[in-house]
Structure 1
């Protein structure tokens, strides 16, 4: 007997909406059902069918005449509407990435280890003992937060250099560990600090899944990060997570979602106290990406102009959040080039991407590979076959050094774009080098 079809997932922008997050946190199913109807087109009769409820019961809940309190009913709603478990205060559901992160064919088997084992096995060397020792104390102190922040900074450095796939078990273990710390009553500064750290760990986990092109898992963790940041009203960080979700939507070829998510991010940033010019510049560039995927030239150029205006207002003493420090001048320049490249404006894109590559740190393997393939595609778009193949050949070393399905996707796209030129000497030389470096990929998945 065939398995019943899997329920359709709710739109990312609905799960990311602060109204939905708040309603789920309060288990206000009347509001949840109203939002699901209005924003996802799932009507009460469909809600009843998917959640194994009677239509009259759903109607009473929407009208405010009845509450849903039994745990088995809440679990059915989570499963039927595909609302991530943590949004309703439940354990991670079976259709999500399991809490133990049971291994799949695309993930290391070690991810099924308990969180405590992952924590002791995977955290960066110098900070492990201090984190574990301090965590064992009944009263956590500022040094605990410092140690956790230090490990997060180290995770991001390793992610840039090697990719996040092998880091993920340790990051998830540390996330669950910090979430467990939040279950105890703590002074407000410590509680807020732990919420902030948990939100950053959830975002990093989501990023590693996004980079691996495992988009459902990425969205679940990004949504968890939003909820953690919402708990302490950190609107700047909420904007950051929404911007990540917008970028993912551009990769999924959902430009409408991408624009809606980055617009929500900008709304959060504008209502936050002390939002810095660097944050606003980063968000404007993400808006430019969304407009570029939509093919809207004037809106893309306007967003690029806003990004450069905001960036020009940055002062050395601005209280920038640590998570936006990566958005420096070379990053602004290369992202500007990529936005032009998405529009097919190769003449504008090529010199910008080339300039930024010259200034990019060589330890950032993923960034160098990613931007090199963008430059190669732009050069090919302009008819510069020899230069494009030379640039792409230089991108192979950093591409091999980092584990990133996103980078592999850009390599595949460039390889496919070479199809009309397969017999040209430059293309032959590139494919020969590619076969040396990635023989299995060329014979298999890279083939158009």
Structure 2
């Protein structure tokens, strides 16, 4: 645990933006002393972790971790604590939390959260394959979560959030019954983590940021209790998307680096490709062109290995075409619209499923293609793509897609003198 808490302390300090000397001054220790604690040449002591908690405003998380106590803001990061959190959240009114357009948890608090996950997943027994028959109720939940993943590609976020929450509540009740064996309980916790991840993703898509964060944190807690690094890392990657979209992209980079570090080399190439591609997207938001390019090349190399029989079923969408679409978004963010269009073209020409299977996501990418055409001064093509995006979105409830289309409209406003542009802005 000491190594994990050192890493979390370092990440929290770096995320705070405080210079080393200023941080040490506020903590009341010398810089060499604190550096040696983070590097492992000095022990992690109670007075030091309390200083980190005080300066970084973590709410006592580091002190609680060192003492092996429960999370000061909730139940402990144990199996019983995870179950208590699952029951409380699935039965509460978290879906009704405010619709703030920013994330609440960032910097030091976010590093403290991932530090708790890191410590808890390391302490849990690892998920092992079993040849035992899966209990019928868990098999049913697994099948329905698989259906919801695909159905969510076609429908709006509000309905999907509630449907996934229903599966979360059912799984929590099954776990509460106490009739599961150890391996069955592991599976139940992993399914609960995926259900919470789906709720969080759909709440994010519906612009309910505070509520989405709660469910992502719940997914991390449940996956840690199960010892399931893969499901936890997957949830963390979606939390990263939220942060690079409406929060601090540097927090997103940190989340993805943590996920990559702890999912390990045992992860399938497809899983590693997904994490690398999303890290590239986060890096593009920070303006780091070289690091973004390296991450994209890594994602391309890994996804080129093709599917693996050990791929988790939730990675069905990770394809060469998707990586190229992400690359196009990165290039557009980095103000290279010509490269963006080449990437988008390569993605569409590869295996990207398109608007029939993924209308919500297709609308986002089509809007970005339209934006790239605007930047290239090809207004006719920009309007054609924007109209296509509007048709794809239709009546689907997706604040994220609508916001992307609104961004295109805003860019086209400067070209209202063009008859085609003016007509689109007036009638869509």
**TM-score between both structures, scaled by the size of structure 1:** 0.69
Counterpart for residue 261 of structure 2: 267
| 1:257 is the counterpart of 2:236 | no
Following superposition of structure 1 onto structure 2, how do residues 349-368 of structure 1 map, counting pairs within 5 Å? 349-357=340-348, 359-361=352-354, 362-368=356-362
Q: 1:175 aligns with which of 154, 168, 173?
A: 168
Q: 1:78 aligns with which of 55, 61, 73?
A: 73
Following superposition of structure 1 onto structure 2, how do residues 113-132 of structure 1 map, counting pairs within 5 Å? none
Q: 1:281 aligns with which of 273, 277, 281?
A: 273
Instruction: Give SS of 2:397's match.
Output: coil
Question: How many Å separate the matches in 2 of 1:341 and 1:279?
Answer: 25
Q: Which runs of 5+ in 1 are unaligned?
A: 1-10, 15-29, 49-57, 80-85, 107-139, 435-448
Instruction: Give SS of 2:311's match.
Output: coil
| 1:156 is the counterpart of 2:170 | no
* Cα distance, 1:188 vs structure 2: 2.1
Q: 2:55 aligns with which of 35, 41, 52?
A: 41
Counterpart for residue 293 of structure 1: 285
Question: How many Å separate the matches in 2 of 1:262 and 1:200?
Answer: 17
Residues 155 and 298 (structure 1), Cα distance of their counterparts in 2 relative to 1, 3 Å cut:
same
Counterpart for residue 200 of structure 1: 194
After superposition, what is the alpha-carbon deviation per residue over 1:13-64, rounded to whole angstroms, capped at 9, x for unaligned?
87xxxxxxxxxxxxxxx99997685268346xx969xxxxxxxxx99x8996
Residues 299 and 412 (structure 1), Cα distance of their counterparts in 2 relative to 1, 3 Å cut:
same
Question: How many Å separate the matches in 2 of 1:91 and 1:432?
Answer: 47
* Cα distance, 1:91 vs structure 2: 8.1
Question: How many Å separate the matches in 1 of 2:50 and 2:246?
Answer: 22
Q: 1:312 aligns with which of 294, 298, 304?
A: 304
Comparing 151-160 with 279-288, greater Cα deviation is found at 151-160
Question: Are the counterparts in 2 of residues 365 and 401 from structure 1 also a CA contact under 8 Å?
Answer: no
| 1:337 is the counterpart of 2:347 | no
Question: How many Å separate the matches in 1 of 2:185 and 2:271?
Answer: 25
Question: How many Å separate the matches in 1 of 2:276 and 2:215?
Answer: 24
Residues 39 and 356 (structure 1), Cα distance of their counterparts in 2 relative to 1, 3 Å cut:
farther
Question: How many Å separate the matches in 2 of 1:353 and 1:394?
Answer: 15
* Cα distance, 1:103 vs structure 2: 5.0
* Cα distance, 1:155 vs structure 2: 1.0
After superposition, what is the alpha-carbon deviation per residue over 1:187-208, rounded to whole angstroms, capped at 9, x for unaligned?
1221122112111100000001
Question: Are the counterparts in 2 of residues 281 and 311 from structure 1 also a CA contact under 8 Å?
Answer: yes
Question: How many Å separate the matches in 1 of 2:398 and 2:46?
Answer: 36
Instruction: Give SS of 2:380's match.
Output: helix
Question: Are the counterparts in 1 of residues 249 and 285 from structure 2 also a CA contact under 8 Å?
Answer: yes
Question: How many Å separate the matches in 1 of 2:87 and 2:46?
Answer: 19
Flag the structure with more relative contact order, 1 or 2, with Cα contacts below 8 A and sequence separation at least 6.
2
Residues 360 and 38 (structure 1), Cα distance of their counterparts in 2 relative to 1, 3 Å cut:
same
Question: How many Å separate the matches in 2 of 1:33 and 1:88?
Answer: 32
* Aligned length in residues: 346
* Cα distance, 1:385 vs structure 2: 1.3
Question: How many Å separate the matches in 2 of 1:201 and 1:162?
Answer: 17
Instruction: Give SS of 1:195's match.
Output: helix
Following superposition of structure 1 onto structure 2, how do residues 50-129 of structure 1 map, counting pairs within 5 Å? 77-78=72-73, 89=84, 99-101=92-94, 103=96
Question: Are the counterparts in 2 of residues 390 and 430 from structure 1 also a CA contact under 8 Å?
Answer: no
Residues 373 and 143 (structure 1), Cα distance of their counterparts in 2 relative to 1, 3 Å cut:
same
After superposition, what is the alpha-carbon deviation per residue over 1:368-392, rounded to whole angstroms, capped at 9, x for unaligned?
1011001001111111111111110
* Cα distance, 1:360 vs structure 2: 2.3
**TM-score between both structures, scaled by the size of structure 2:** 0.72
